[in-house]
Amino acid sequence: MNAQPENADGKQAGLLKRYGPLAVLLLAAAAVYASGAHKYLSLSAIAENRDVLQEFVASNFILSIFAYMALYVAAVAFSVPGASLLTITGGFLFGWFVGGTVTVVAATIGATAIFLIAQTSFGDVLSKKAGPLAKSLADGFQQDAFNYLLFLRLVPVFPFWLVNIAPALFNVRLPTFVIGTFLGIIPGTFAFCIVGSGLDSIIDAQKASYDACVAANGAGNCTFSLDVGALLTPQLLAGFAALGVVALIPVIIKRVKASRKSSA
């Protein structure tokens, strides 16, 4: 007589286990966007609070690193825009080497969390309903998942959140995802951290320009702002694209060999 309630309880527990993490993630992300906290991720905010941030890091270096990592993991998990800006901030606060190392670890953790939630909650459903294009992409992942993932990580054209979810739809193994993500984001992360390590001089130059404008025209006619787009040079983006092409070479060679075998 108690079999039916026990089955119902087991079903509810299964649904909670499957969709619970996704629900928590969506609620937390909604709370972040509703509070407007993501709007504080700007170069202008960093410039305005530069002295406070640098003093805090100098006095609480280890705590600052863990706080930065927690913020980065949350930003990746909630798909908050501005991952490149956070990476630049890491280079600005901790230097290019420490900032880059910490960022790679934090970004990999956040990406893995999203991958696991997507795989558990809706990966199999979406993969079954995917169209022919997604089916061919799935075949590519199954043939050489590591190099496909490496390419997507190396070229900063694809949204980071999309590359976190897509492998989950195509049954990419967790170790492949973690290693491919970790290695693939290293070049871009360190490049942005190197840019961030020189941000202090850029802030000083902009501040000097702003002060000169105020002295000549008055505060009402001058604005102090920094644009992250100005830091992303065409040469930097071209370098990322070249790295992505290199990552695809093993995939191309494998397909050429397979085509020759089939024709033979």
The string of DSSP codes covering 97-152 is: HHHHHHHHHHHHHHHHHHHHHHIIIIIHHHHHH--HHHHHHHHHHHHHHHHHHHHH
Phi, psi of 198, deg, nearest 5: -100, 10
Task: Provide DSSP, 197-245.
Answer: HTHHHHHHHHHHHHHHHHHHH-GGG------GGGGS-HHHHHHHHHHHH
Judged by average pLDDT, the poorest of 95-109, 151-165, 222-236 is 222-236
What SS3 state is found at 184?
helix
Q: Where do the structural domains in the chain lie, given as residue ranges?
A: 17-196+234-263
Q: Would you put residue 173 in left (φ > 0), alpha (ψ -120 to 50) or beta?
A: beta
Query: What's the mean pLDDT in 93-104?
Result: 94
Mean pLDDT over residues 154-164, rounded? Answer: 77
- Span 169-178, pLDDT tens digits: 888 899 999 9
Considering the chain, what percentage of its residues have pLDDT values greater than 90? 19
For residues 44-53, average pLDDT: 81
98 pLDDT band, cuts 50/70/90, is: very high
pLDDT at 154: 81
Q: For position 6, what pLDDT does the model report?
A: 54
Phi-psi map region of 83: left, alpha, beta (phi>0 left; psi -120 to 50 alpha): alpha
End-to-end CA distance of the chain: 65
The mean pLDDT of 135-160, rounded to a whole number, is 75
Q: Give the separation between CA 77 and CA 114, rounded to whole angstroms.
A: 6
Residue 122 DSSP symbol: I
Q: What percent of the chain stands above pLDDT 70?
A: 61
User: pLDDT confidence of 97, banded at 50, 70, 90?
Assistant: very high
State mean pLDDT over 187-202: 82
* Mean pLDDT calculated for residue range 194-200: 81
Query: DSSP 3-state assignment of 14?
Result: helix
pLDDT of residue 33: 57
- Classify residue 170 by its DSSP letter: T
